[in-house]
Structure 1
Amino acid sequence: MRLRNVPGADAYLTAHPLVIKNETRYRGSWKETFEHSENPIHIEIGMGKGKFILTLAKENPNINYIGIERYSSVLVRALEHLDNDEEYKDLTNIRFICMDAKELPNVFAVGELDKIYLNFSDPWPKARHAKRRLTSREYFERYDKILAFDGVVEFKTDNKELFEFSLEQVDLAGWILLAKTFDLHNDPTLSRGNVMTEYEEKFSGLGHPIHKLIAMRQ
């Protein structure tokens, strides 16, 4: 996917008070970056324009959220929604990091996170790039290092091949599959309380079934 460069994006992120800079220095003390440090921390990796995590932060003030996005030009769009949409005004339970997900163990300490959301991640369709997929065994090993004992990973996609690959990787990583569905919006259990992303709205509107899994380590 070719990303459009957003002039001034890096400067915008640097100046924004909710974007964490020099993120590795907060390893082991992320709770202290929030007003309510007693709350659990959930992260979304690859947050796109931010609708999903902003909605969660608004609906769940008792949970602290961190949105992670690799590309500054994408993250800046999410921040514009936060800054300009009245419904997200005064959120205090959300932070953002512009970083590559492969650095997660260098940014978060053992057991520091309670949940990881992966939504419509890049499928990296070529076999030689399988290790780059956010649901590969290599990434589950990274998640293992930062999740709390009972922490979970939730993954949604419309890409059936990626979803089947992900199911295999859960097993290969030695994790437990708590739930799965190949048709989220028609699943009476997993669809309850579902918050849609921008991609989810687009693809489901085109008639694509949405797949979801929830996994935790043994």
Structure 2
Amino acid sequence: MNKKEIIEILERIAAGISQTFGNDCEVLISDLNNPDNSIISIYNGHVTGRKVGDSLSELGLKAMKEKHVEHDLINYHAKTKDGRLIKCSTFHIKSGKHWLCLGINYDYTNLAMAHATLENLFKVEESMKDEFYANPNEILEGMISDAFKLVGKPASLMNKEDRIKVVKYLDERGALVIQKGVQIVAETLNVSRYTIYNYLNEINEEKKHPVESK
């Protein structure tokens, strides 16, 4: 394959990549046998500010000097003179005396800024459990289920201490302010509403006069 044929193939690939990834994606073809005027073709050259006839990049010149051209360079980081963030890949093509490369330089500066903005938006100062339901009865059902898991017994096997523990847990989570919350909890625990209120009184008294541990 002669040089012209190689360039024609690379031109098709370069044009396709630049159209696929848009204006932030620079794609160029370089002649490594002519480092001073290396760029043969370039799409979206505004990304790095280069044009046809310009020289290799600093990394390209260094790679040639150190002869690191036997392998492709994939997804490495670079910066433009004005500080824009670029991710790059370079593919080397050698055929006889012809030595060309296809370079892809994607400007992801705006994406990095958007990422930083989203990261700041998602940041929270304190982790607290909260769940959202359309129906308050669903909230209460979830809280009751959690309370039963805490005690580890079905209602039929609970003693008074277990039931007080359930009521205390539900009261602290605000379950009893839900409309008919007290009634639903009472029915679930197989006790009367008045028993629930008595439990609440005992809980409040305990808060006012906690029993000292022996």
Query: Does TM, normalized by the shorter one, top 0.5?
Result: no
Greater radius of gyration (CA): 2
Q: TM-score, normalised by structure 1?
A: 0.23
Q: TM-score, normalised by structure 2?
A: 0.23
- The structure in which a higher percent of residues are helix is 2
Higher RCO (CA 8 Å, separation ≥ 6 residues): 1
